[in-house]
Copies of this chain bind each other. A is one copy, B any other.
Amino acid sequence: MLIVQKFGGSSVANPERIRNVAGIIAESFLYGHEVVVVLSAQGDTTDELLDKAAEINPNPSKRELDMLLATGEQQSIALMAMCLEGMGLPVVSLTGWQVGIRTDAAYGAARIRRVDTERLRRELDKKRIVLVAGFQGVNKFDDYTTLGRGGSDTTAVALAAALHADRCQIFTDVEGVYTADPRKVPGARKLEEITYDEMLELASMGAQVLMNRSVQLAKRYGVELEVLSSLVRAPGTKVKEVSKNMEEMKITGIAKDEKVARVTVVKVADRPGSAFRVLNAVSKAGINVDMIIQANGQDESTNDISFVVSQADAEAASRALSERQAAIGFDHVSVDTDIAKVSVVGAGMMSSVGIASLVFEALNDEHINIQMINTSEVKISCVIDAASADRAVAAIHRKFFET
């Protein structure tokens, strides 16, 4: 069996953790599997390198930043290789260019174009454990690129797809995907399986187990993922096309995103195309918009248009609108960052009635006011005030999982 394993930065943060991970790798190898391992930079290495760069130049080019950051993963694979050597195991470490991970030229956020498998296959055929530096590749100029946030997960999925791996295990500091954040909701349950789409919704809703990009890639190439802990030996959560539980369990999990903001455009002139002009201004600024409502203003000739963006984008959205105030026609823009989005995710949701009403009932019981609602095939999201978010998650979780 060919297994791709990925370990994040906290899993290799110090010699003790490195030895622990080496034990997991060794176990898979000694079971007779072919093992390809993707590693992130150790602990805070990437942040330390960013600090070093900032001391020299607060605004360096992305090319040189990638040149600098790529060293973090290279150090991880070398150190892990030494650890496995110390255990008497055959091992070789390879950087992104050595593997042949070819990306586009978008420094800092490159997308993988192609993965050569020749060198990987050659090393596997020599019965070696192969360690690959995550997060990095090279573009057509042979210049280093990095893949951006969650890049090592993406590397692992891309390698698994290219090598037609039998398994792709993503080791993290949690034991799997839960019905809600287990640190906040004591009754939260670990899911045995989840579909790609459910995982995508949970990830985009703030459950930071896997980055959306790697899940999308896994879905596209049919790579079955397993999310599991590098510290606790226990089965994790499988992410695959069709979950066997899909029909039985109506909802999969509950997630909360507090890094959102509500932008309200106040007193938009009530004429055709107003909403389009508002949303167009925001989208032209490269900002993703989620959940839109249009409500009658106090007078009859205007509407208020509200939408949700990530907090990081709120100021830019407000600026983009203000620049076109005359063309769009509105009074002013207000931004509220004191909100949270609570989402209920489940692939079987829409086929069964009453899910939405159970959600509303749970929030109503807690006297939590719903500001905005959005529904899709696999989720229901509610915007509520930030202070009530944890209480809302717990209440919904009780309603669905604990009765």
A residues within 8 Å of B by Cβ?
15, 18-19, 49, 52-53, 55-57, 59-61, 63-65, 67-68, 70-71, 74-75, 77-79, 81-83, 85-86, 92-93, 95, 97-98, 119, 142-144
Contact = CB atoms under 8 A, between A and B. Distances in A.
Contacts of A53: 78-79, 82
5 contacts: A18-B56, A19-B56, A53-B82, A61-B85, A64-B78
Nearest to A60: B82
Contacts of A63: 92
Copies of this chain present in the complex amount to 2
A78 B85 contact: no
Contact of A52 (B56, B60, B79, B92): B79
A15 B63 CA distance: 20
A86 B49 contact: no
A92 B67 CA distance: 10
Nearest to A77: B67
Nearest to A70: B74
A15 B71 CA distance: 19
A83 B56 contact: yes
A345 to B, nearest CB: 41
Contacts of A142: 98, 119
B52 A67 contact: no
Contact of A68 (B55, B60, B78, B85): B78
Q: Which 9 pairs show the lowest CB-CB distances between chains A and B? A: A68-B78, A71-B71, A60-B82, A57-B86, A57-B82, A67-B78, A64-B81, A15-B55, A56-B82
Contacts of A15: 55-56
Nearest to A59: B86
B98 A85 contact: no
Given A61-B82, A98-B142, A143-B98, A67 B74 contact: yes
